[in-house]
Amino acid sequence: MFFHIVLERNMQLHPRHFGRNLRENLVSKLMKDVEGTCSGRHGFVVAITGIENVGKGLIRDGTGFVTFPVKYQCVVFRPFKGEVLEAVVTMVNKMGFFAEAGPVQIFVSNHLIPDDMEFQSGDMPNYTTSDGSVKIQKDSEVRLKIIGTRVDATEIV
């Protein structure tokens, strides 16, 4: 689910950011560029926790930009098959429902919803048990088990 890993990235910095605060400018640009992004290989970058190393810069010909290799520690969120998550329902329809667990979008098919729950259409579509004790609708909190993931270059579904 959550992992603390070390990643590396080449950061380009404009010459106007050079000077006394070079390292601070580099770190703030790294945080702005990386936090909240997703790589299919590592997962969603939640937060940068530390900078391990900033390498020597390499000047780009013709532009004046300098490329710095930066090694940093970060917390990433990566869901796995078989993992149990708590999620908030965002949309309900007759095909199933969509939910979000942090940055992950989850779809639960109506084939995976228990047989005693029935779809109710109307102004607030929902799945309700026959006795009415349990109702899944928009903004409901559900606990679910991941049975599969699809990993793209920039997202995990």
Query: Which segments in the chain show pLDDT lower than 70?
Result: 153
Domain 2-77: CATH superfamily, name plus number: RNA polymerase Rpb7-like, N-terminal domain (3.30.1490.120)
Residues 47-64 pLDDT 10s = 999 999 999 999 998 888
* pTM, 2 dp: 0.78
Compute and round to an integer the Cα radius of gyration of the chain.
Answer: 22
Give the pLDDT of residue 91: 94
Q: Where are the domains of the chain?
A: 2-77, 83-146
Q: Any idea of the CA torsion for 21, 22, 24, 26, to the nearest 10 degrees? A: 160
Give the pLDDT of residue 100: 92
Give the pLDDT of residue 33: 93
d(CA 146, CA 60): 45
CATH number of 83-146: 2.40.50.140
